[in-house]
Structure 1
């Protein structure tokens, strides 16, 4: 039966290896059992090929499910040998071939051109890719008439549309372009038309520059492997990238694709995985869901492929432990066997890493700083100082997020979108994505004059990027990241230095945040942090408002209710309970600072925004420094009525001095007396010497930062 096998991604040896895992408890066996159960349940339903529907509506989702099970049923036919799977795949593809050309183009319009099945051509690319994979598994089982009908009435018209009518989208350097070239190339192999493989590899012009897979992977990813749209879109782009790379590895070995451009595919997989929080969830950089994690199917494929082609990294076994599944492929079989044989499948602990941005690595970076506490819990700080992120970019350079104890503490809002919730604008991006979610005030940063970076101008933002200053990760008890942002607000230069400090007196790493702003004219500076949980105590003299009003009328402020405000205390403290942990924020306030407590929801008549909370420390100044710490402490368990260490140990943060040479910050409290010295000099190196005289005291250090622990 397999003598004429045309499967694009499976050979006979792999099919035999995978088949041996049926009814076992290996990761491959579990993955097979899950796929069989889901596919059988779907096959029990009548075949339905609907016409047009709203984006994210019933018809959309039905077409999406259909291509998923065309692919799965095709593979299960080869693995199990049961013809029911081949028959189902043939029947559903035949019905699509009967109807496809009669549908016409979708009447809905998006920013992308419409297809015959979906409101945007991107979804049709995905449909073709997966349906082609499934078809390739059963083509040898079909008779000549069936093959001719499916290829001439379904696949060939799709190929014509993608490479001719929408050729401009096919050659677009974008995650949409990746899906296009992968779909066309895989379909070309499935139907025996190699010319489409050539188009997909080299682009319509054949120059490897303006389009094609080689151009895509050369231009979309930085030398570090980072993808400019952020992890949420990276995990989406990684799926066609990995699938087509594996196809080319088998069918175009002369390309040596896994070593292409200094192993860019391996680097970008590793970079994507290295962004994840310790629980496997991806940070919400740029437009992003708050719940997307490494169990996504694209990431499952990427982990299996990376293990097979780029070395047996034990961290990948840890990723597989979280995923509890593997790709149903030879790569997944290799990972499954290694996992089964391994005696060390601990959860992965990725090291701190700075991922540069831009095709040449010279357009800023993203910093991921990780530090373990004494009990093994991992704190992770993320800071954005890269480029804008194209159409999905948020205006939040120097914004941060912070994670520990299994939860995001300083939150990212994520996108303004309810994916596949059709009544919410078809599951697409809502207007509030622009009016709030992408605005600077929503991103744990400083908003200047209650405005947005680069005036919310995408073209202007695309022309700029953050400037890396230093990234220190060699000392496990003292790690830091620092960067500059120039003219993101007219006449204002910004520098943020964030430090994680481990000390025996503390339960968890202490986060120190030093945010410098420099200007020749006075501005209103809003240092905003997004928190979640219950306020426990606050030292400022604030008053709640009986009647709520928005914080402003533009740049996201129109969506923030001003719930309370007051004069900030000298060492302003806000403490809150989140989950089972207490968090205390202590700031070095100035005389006229104001503290605001806000809640999202103003000017939102359709309740599109989530009701989330933040506090804002507002200061009027020319040049200034916000110095703050965030302490994690204590334990709370409502079920057993237990609460310990509800008060943190830090009680004072002081800016001793800050100038163009450096900033000296003191942090004091119960059993704590730190002096932290941070470089503000451009081009600082490990050899750079710093000396600051202040109040008859001299502060000296070498390199980007230093920490003195004063024990009294």
Structure 2
């Protein structure tokens, strides 16, 4: 075992773990029954079992999800854990395990070229893409940092010169495009090389990691922080990749703080790293991240990236609400910050985390649109995600002014996310499927207007990256959450403006969604507005012609070729209703005001999909033909309950009896009549707020509108 004096005399560890951390952690392992000691015992048992098995470092052969890919992933995780065990116990068997595995990699690495299953770009050697190579080094350098005190000078020289430096060189000087790229691949590479520089006492390596290969600041870790995050901490590729990119940002930042505290890395850009950790939490519902852009929907706040983020953030600010998230994560880290979190939870210091309506500006200045979150109240109440963001680089989807709706813990109006089976080698090697480009990224796969069956920006990423919506306003009041955004670059000569609200009718009832979508053009177009719903179709208030014996694709391109046209309708009434039952066993109805002839097209994914790559997704599309200007007006309401266990159904039909709208100058007036004849009157000033008060006449009455909106609820309260 190490003595305290021995620990203090060592240079290592000096990355995420510090010498003072180790001293406190070692003492904590003896506190029986504590979260930290329980986790220590669990990890020690796992590592001890692994030490009984032979070390396996196979020749790389498989893409993501294959045996060799997964074996190399396990290797770096096991090395990392063994390194921590060496620091906490002082037993050299753990150090020898890491040493011997790194020796095996030092023998393998010079013998292999680029990976046989490499992608067309950014290939790795140990892994099929260079990204995974960087992840390997981020973990492996921490393992080496932990066990370096147990090695002889010759052993250290062998590991440093024959594996650590070669991998760092491959990630940096041999792969300049990736290393200098402002992208999550570049983030991982710079973090890996910079951390290696600290451990090997190579300041040149550190400076290149921070400022780019030429150290000009045009690339590197700080440039990543400058451009990939908005001032609010929103990551431009969306929540899924924010979660993934978070780990190299926070891990390297922790290493910078431990080695060069004068850089004040956690204060950089007004604390953008801490804001990024906080916003990653906010960008979730019922523990899962919002599934926009190239997202895998089962990722949530318990992922290791955010577990580390929460522990590091708590170590810096001791925010008791973070402890609530840490308890939900249910994972204790064997780090100094992990110890602080565990001790605080043991002492019952946590406070409930407050999820609120917020606007997260996008882009480095925060002015490239925004992701707008409208939350009704309690954490599992109604929530609207209004996506008026920038493109999101290559992982972005062509879905400006898209939205998702959540209620009672479930996604109700959904986003397809990514067409990919991550690490399922049988499905295209675990990579993004071809249908990710041909369907999942296309506009019709989302809940926003499609013009002339063409995707926004004609599906061209380079064009889309140049433009973003303008946020017209954002309101977060008690009874009404309201936001509006506009874009006129998604289609030439077409302006799209969407206004979304989450409106409280009565505290005893769920809030309803108000969706007003204005489309304007000087020439006529076909306008499609899909709703991708999760659940089972129940009924409509209009006749539907179902294609029960023969189905054809809805179109030939831009994602339409992947949609079976299952049914169609042309409602003769000016009020159209579609009701479905969600997986949470509650009913939802969209009530649509049809102010022009409108068709309803019912679709399911699966057309032109010979390998069954697409998940089944149902939708209905409102279609307006040959119109210059059109306003889609929809109200979506949760209602009722179906209980299959107790065999009862409550309020399976809509509460909305009537819906009318009128535009009075810049003022949009929406009137909702409920089945008990109570009325909701919502007036919104869509123009500039030139005066504090504005009067308007509606149905022979004069109203005064102060500020952006006026709301008269069933209780006859005026806001």
TM range (shorter): over 0.9
TM-score (norm 2): 0.94
Q: Does 1:658 align with 2:663?
A: yes
Out of 542, 558, 574, which is 2:578 matched to? 574
Match of 1:7 among 13, 16, 24: 13
Shift of 1:40: 4.1
Q: Which residue of 2 aligns with 1:497?
A: 499
2:282 equivalent to 1:280: no
Is 1:706 aligned to 2:710, yes or no?
yes
* Structure 1 contact 178–241 (Cα < 8 Å) conserved: yes
Q: C-alpha distance in 1, partners of 2:305/2:331?
A: 12
1:501–1:34: structure 2 CA closer, same or farther, 3 Å change rule?
Answer: farther
Question: Offset at 1:435?
Answer: 0.8
Aligned equivalents of 1:710, 1:118: Cα separation in 2: 61
For residues 111-149 of structure 1, what are the alpha-carbon distances to aligned partners after superposition, in whole Å with 9 as ceiling and x for unaligned?
432222112211111111110000111111112222121
Contact conserved, 1:528 with 1:616, CA < 8 A, in 2? yes
Pair 1:674-2:671 in alignment: no
1:614 aligned onto 2:623: no
Matched, 1:146 2:155: yes
Distance in 2 of aligned mates of 1:107 and 1:344: 49
For 2:231 and 2:292, locate their aligned partners in 1 and report how far apart those are by CA, in whole Å: 19
Conserved in 1, the CA contact under 8 Å of 2:695 and 2:702?
yes
Given the alignment of the two structures, is residue 351 of structure 1 paired with residue 356 of structure 2, yes or no? yes
Q: Does the Cα contact within 8 Å between 2:321 and 2:350 map onto a contact in 1?
A: no
Q: Is the deviation greater in 168-177 or in 352-361?
A: 168-177
Alignment partner of 1:541: what SS? coil
Deviation by residue 1:46-94 (Cα, 9 ceiling, x = unmatched): 3111112232121111111111111111112212333332222122111
The answer to whether residue 429 in structure 2 is matched with residue 426 in structure 1 is: yes
What CA distance in whole angstroms lies between the structure 2 residues aligned with 1:629 and 1:492?
24
Structure 2: runs of 5+ lacking an equivalent: none
Supply the distance in 2 between the matched residues of 1:589 and 1:449 (Cα, whole angstroms).
Answer: 19
The change in CA–CA distance for 1:574 and 1:123 in structure 2 (over 3 A counts) is same
Choose the corresponding residue for 2:211, options 202, 218, 232.
202
DSSP 3-state at the match of 1:289: coil
User: Which residue, 193, 214, 221 being the options, matches 1:213?
Assistant: 221
Take 2:328 and 2:152, find their aligned partners in 1: how far apart are those partners? 43
CA-CA distance at 1:648 after TM superposition: 3.1
Question: In structure 2, do the counterparts of structure 1 residues 587 and 193 end up closer, same or farther at CA, with 3 Å as the change threshold?
Answer: same
1:470–1:684 CA contact under 8 A, matched in 2: no
1:188 aligns with 2:191: no
Residue 174 (structure 2) aligns with: 165
Alpha-carbon deviation of 1:650?
1.6
TM superposition shift of 1:419: 0.5
- Identify the residue that residue 446 of structure 2 maps to in structure 1: 443
1:287, distance to aligned residue in structure 2 (A): 0.8
Corresponding residue of 1:107: 116
- For the 8 Å contact 1:315–1:350, the answer to whether it is kept is no
Tell me how far apart the structure 2 counterparts of residues 178 and 624 of structure 1 sit (CA, whole Å). 44
> Shift of the alpha carbon at 1:531?
0.8
Shift of 1:151: 1.2
Using the TM superposition, name which of 36-45 and 93-102 deviates more. Answer: 36-45
Partner of 1:341: 347
Provide the rounded CA distance (Å) in 2 between the counterparts of 1:280 and 1:127.
Answer: 28
Corresponding residue number in structure 1 for 2:25 = 18
Shift of 1:615: 0.9
Structure 1 range deviating more: 88-97 or 319-328: 319-328
Correspondence 1:626 to 2:632: yes
Query: Is the Cα–Cα contact under 8 Å of residues 63 and 118 in structure 2 kept in the other structure?
Result: no
The one-character-per-residue Cα deviations of 1:480-528 (angstroms, maximum 9, x if unpaired) are 1111111312221111111111122752111111111112222221111
Per the TM alignment, residue 388 of structure 1 is displaced from its structure 2 partner at its CA by: 0.6
SS class of match (2:173): helix
Q: Structure 1's 192 and 431: CA in aligned 2 closer, same or farther, altered over 3 A?
A: same
1:402 and 1:314 map into 2 onto residues whose CA distance is 29
Q: Distance in 1 between matches of 2:88 and 2:542?
A: 66
Instruction: Indicate the SS of the match to 2:659.
Output: strand
Cα separation, 2, equivalents of 1:538 and 1:171: 54
Aligned-pair CA distance for 1:702 = 2.3
Listed as ranges, the matches of 1:325-340 within 5 Å are 325-340=331-346
TM superposition shift of 1:689: 4.1
Seen in structure 2, the aligned counterparts of structure 1 residues 247 and 690 have a Cα distance that, compared at 3 Å, is same
Matched-pair contact (CA < 8 Å) for 2:505–2:713: no
- The answer to whether structure 1 residue 51 and structure 2 residue 51 are counterparts is no
The 3 A distance-change label for structure 1 pair 12 and 649 is same
Unaligned runs of 5+ in 1: none
Is the deviation greater in 513-522 or in 392-401? 513-522
Of residues 97, 100, 104 in structure 1, which corresponds to 2:106? 97
Choose the corresponding residue for 2:236, options 207, 219, 228.
228
SS of residue matched to 1:378: coil
Pairing partner for 2:145 from 109, 132, 136:
136
Q: Counterparts of 2:519 and 2:63 in 1: how far apart (Å)?
A: 44
Q: Sort the Cα spacing of 1:535 and 1:24 in 2 relative to 1 into closer, same or farther, 3 A.
A: farther
CA contact (8 A) 1:659 1:680 kept: no
Distance in structure 1 (CA, Å) of the matches to 2:27 and 2:187 = 34
Alpha carbons of 1:155 and 1:344: their partners in 2 closer, same or farther (altered >3 Å)?
A: closer
1:308 partnered with 2:310: no
What is the aligned residue count? 702
Partner deviation per Cα, 1:294-314 (whole Å, 9 max, x = no partner) = 1111111111111121x2323
CA-CA distance at 1:292 after TM superposition: 1.0
Query: Quick check: 1:586–1:651 contact (8 Å CA) kept in 2?
Result: no
String of CA shifts for 1:127-181, please: whole Å, max 9, x gaps: 1111000011111111222212111111121222223211232122221111111
Say if 2:320 and 2:349, in contact at 8 Å, map to a contact too: no
Partner of 1:122: 131
Q: What is the TM-score with the length of structure 1 in the denominator?
A: 0.95
Q: Which residue of 1 aligns with 2:533?
A: 531
Could you say if the C-alpha distance between residues 573 and 44 of structure 1 is closer, same or farther in structure 2, counting changes exceeding 3 Å? farther
Deviation of 1:585 (Å): 1.3
* CA shift in 2, pair 1:111/1:477, >3 Å: farther
1:298 aligned to 2:288?
Answer: no
**Residues 301 and 326, structure 1, Cα contact 8 Å, conserved in 2:** no
